[in-house]
Chain A
Amino acid sequence: MASSTDETKDPIERSPSETPDLSLDEVREARLTGTEGNVHHDRRHGEGNTASQSSVHHNAKSKASPLQRAKYLVINLFLAFHIVALVCWCVPVDSPLISLGRDLVRPYFLWSGLFQSWDMFAPIPKSANTYIEAVVVYKDGSKITWTLPRMEQLSLTEKLFKERYRKFADNLQREENDDLLPDAARYIARLNSSPGRPVKTVTLIQKWSFIVPRADGSYVPEPWQQHVLLGYGVRPEDLQ
């Protein structure tokens, strides 16, 4: 792991004005007319004298150490790989080549945390208001209804802190996340249980009300409907 002072010692990052010798990449970019690299070059070697430049380039090229060349190569490979990989991952096109690229980079992206998805409200936005309710039944036969924090019932400040519950509730309702439901039921059981009043069952219920567009743009809330997501029998070890 590099320390902050290493930052200044890295010849790839270092400014030419700080370095006694030109690195390979300096050499390459100093040839680009009008680049900032050229400005540095000119400052040290005269006013854009072409003969002088090529002489310097030649000398500098020979002075670039193998380590600097290797670093330059590694950075370029790093950049090229990540650009291609990011494009394959992000572009939602189902061509065989892009799919192959996506499959190839998947293990690395999942490991490194470079995976991403930019499907905010797309391709089709959510078309119903939803929330999750839990019916908690105690061993003594009594029951309560517990609701995951609903953003529309919170103050502005509370919303800032509790917004994650909105995202979590959304994810709980997705079929592909069914494995989350028992964990959620157990958490609700622990939250509502006490040694003298243990919870016996938790039933997770999804409530929804469709959003139906009207011609004049007005909105009338539709009736709420419900669907049982999970009925969970709480075991004593769940409450520990």
Chain B
Amino acid sequence: MSLKFVFRAWNEFFFAERSPIPIALFRIFYGLLVVATLTLLRPDWLSWYGPHAWVSLPTALKLEPGPRLNLFSIIPQSDGWVQALFWVSLGSAILLTVGLLTRFNSVLVFLCLTSIQQRNLYITHGGDTFLRLAGFFLIFAPAGAAFSVDRLIRFRHGKESATIQPRRPWAQRMIQLQLSLMYFSAFLVKVKGAPWLQGTAPYYVYHLDELRRFPLPSWFFYPMMLKLASWSALVMEFSLGVLIWLKELRYVLLGLGLLFHLWLEYSLNIPLFQWDILSAYVLFINPEDLKCAWNWMAGSGRLGVARA
């Protein structure tokens, strides 16, 4: 392998133009998930983030010292200001979803989301973390280049043609890398623990009362099934972290990953976590296949209407 080959591969990976449809779809999913996150938090905005919250701002700053992107540390500490910050976040997330002032709103959503998490890191789960990380790279992506009000406006003003133009995917690639790094890191941490290798870890996880969601069949708790579940989790996390980059295996792994997360969604109560992660799967789908899927769905819809 020569240095020239590495440079070429690097350029092709990050800069060879691709359709912005996947990143635009991701922007929509991402925006909806931020809206859902803020909505689920709505009854407790002040309980978690207000001036008299469970964790006070001085305590949060003491436990997490150093300079941080945190709008809470610069706004006046009053109920009104805290609520205003949340309403701005919500409004901005809605605008990002529809793709109006996309770049500006991607920056604003990231700033608000990071501030909200920095203000109280003791209630965030992995899904929140992923939204924060993906939000950072989304700022740099041409997320408004398709399926957006911005594009509609540009089209109306004759600044853009009817065909969606390809763009450089480097920011999209970073979100993909972040997702695979997340899986790979989770795999590496798990293999450090004997319960995962021995196959007893799921026994503990699924007997945590606080996490239980829907009932599981009794056969799932047979020792052999638990071993299978434990090792499957390891294989899935390794594969989605590393093997996902092999084109031939990608769709199979995305399908298995989808089933894996749907199973977790059914069995564990960690609201939105699975959807936060699954939202980024769209970035791994070939834009041409997305178009085919869209055409197929549109065709089925028309057929359905005709039949009705």
- A-B complex is real: yes
Interface residues of A (CB under 8 A from B): 1-8, 12-18, 25, 28-29, 31-32, 35-37, 40, 75, 79, 82-83, 86-87, 90-93, 107, 110-114, 116-127, 129-131, 150-152, 156, 159-161, 163-169, 171-172, 177, 179-180, 183-184, 187, 190, 211, 213, 215-219
Judge whether B226 and A217 touch: CB under 8 Å: yes
Q: Contacts of B68 on A, CB cut-off 8 Å?
A: 110-111, 113
Interface residues of B (CB under 8 A from A): 7-8, 11-12, 14-18, 40-41, 43-44, 47-48, 52-56, 59, 62-64, 66-69, 100-104, 107, 110, 114, 117-118, 122-126, 129, 132-133, 136, 142, 144-145, 150, 154, 159-160, 165-168, 170, 174, 177-178, 181-182, 184-186, 188-196, 200-201, 203-205, 207-213, 221-223, 225-226, 269-271
Give complex CA distance A216, B226 in Å.
11
Question: What's the dominant secondary structure at chain B's contact region?
Answer: helix
Among all A-B residue pairs, the 6 with the closest Cβ atoms: A123-B193, A15-B165, A113-B114, A217-B221, A152-B209, A123-B192
20 contacts between A and B (CB under 8 A): A1-B103, A15-B17, A18-B165, A29-B12, A37-B16, A111-B68, A112-B69, A118-B182, A118-B186, A122-B186, A122-B190, A122-B196, A122-B201, A123-B190, A124-B194, A151-B209, A152-B210, A160-B271, A168-B54, A217-B203
Residue from the list A86, A116, A159 in contact with B271, Cβ < 8 A: A159
Judge whether A7 and B132 touch: CB under 8 Å: no
Residue from the list A83, A120, A126 in contact with B208, Cβ < 8 A: A126
Judge whether B166 and A36 touch: CB under 8 Å: yes
Give complex CA distance A216, B186 in Å.
29
Judge whether A180 and B122 touch: CB under 8 Å: yes
Q: Contacts of A111 on B, CB cut-off 8 Å?
A: 66-69
